[in-house]
A = this chain, B = another copy of it.
Amino acid sequence: MAVERISDAEFEVMDCLWQQSPLTASDIAERVPAERKWSLQTVKTLLSRLVNKGAITHEVDGRRYLYRPLLDRENYVAGESSRFVNRLFSGRAGPLFAHLAEREAFSEEDIAEIERLLKEMKK
């Protein structure tokens, strides 16, 4: 039951709900990243599309809805990550890492964490 693909704009809405839920449509309209400057209507459209896609539900609260995610973030991220790694790095983490190392900055912390994880994996 893998929930249809979620679009960019829809993702922003999901991300709000992942940070906090349940929320009403206007709650979301307020906390959606400001750069987008969506009208309330736009947010509502996105919400109902997400409901159709099975990514969120709404429960009735008086005369409005409270929305909350069905799809959880962990899961979504996992799906997108493997799509990504497959498409661009033939599914191999090594090359991905090499790329990141070259192009994206790793902070000290990042490196420390990675070393820790590696150590753990080797056990």
Q: Which residues of A contact B (CB under 8 A)?
A: 11, 77-78, 80-82, 84-85, 87-88, 91-94, 96-101, 103-107, 109-111, 113-115, 117-118, 121-122
Contact: B106 with A114, CB < 8 Å? Answer: no
Q: Are A111 and B121 in contact (CB under 8 A)?
A: yes
- A118 adjacent to B113 (CB under 8 Å): no
- A87, A94, A118, A121 pick with most chain B CB within 10 angstroms: A94
In the complex, the answer to whether B107 meets A85 with C-beta atoms within 8 Å is no
A-side interface mostly: helix
Residue ID in chain B nearest A98 by CB atoms: B117
Taken together as a complex, chains A and B put the C-alpha atoms of A105 and B109 apart, in Å, by: 23
Q: Pick the residue among B78, B91, B99, B121 that contacts A101 (CB under 8 A).
A: B121
Shortest distance between the CB of A109 and any CB in chain B (Å): 6
Report yes or no: A113 in contact with B88, Cβ–Cβ below 8 A.
no
Q: Is the CB of A81 within 8 A of B100?
A: yes
Contacts beyond the supplied A78-B103, A97-B114, A106-B121: 13 A-B pairs with Cβ under 8 Å: A80-B84, A80-B88, A81-B103, A82-B104, A85-B104, A93-B100, A93-B104, A93-B110, A93-B114, A94-B109, A94-B111, A96-B100, A114-B118
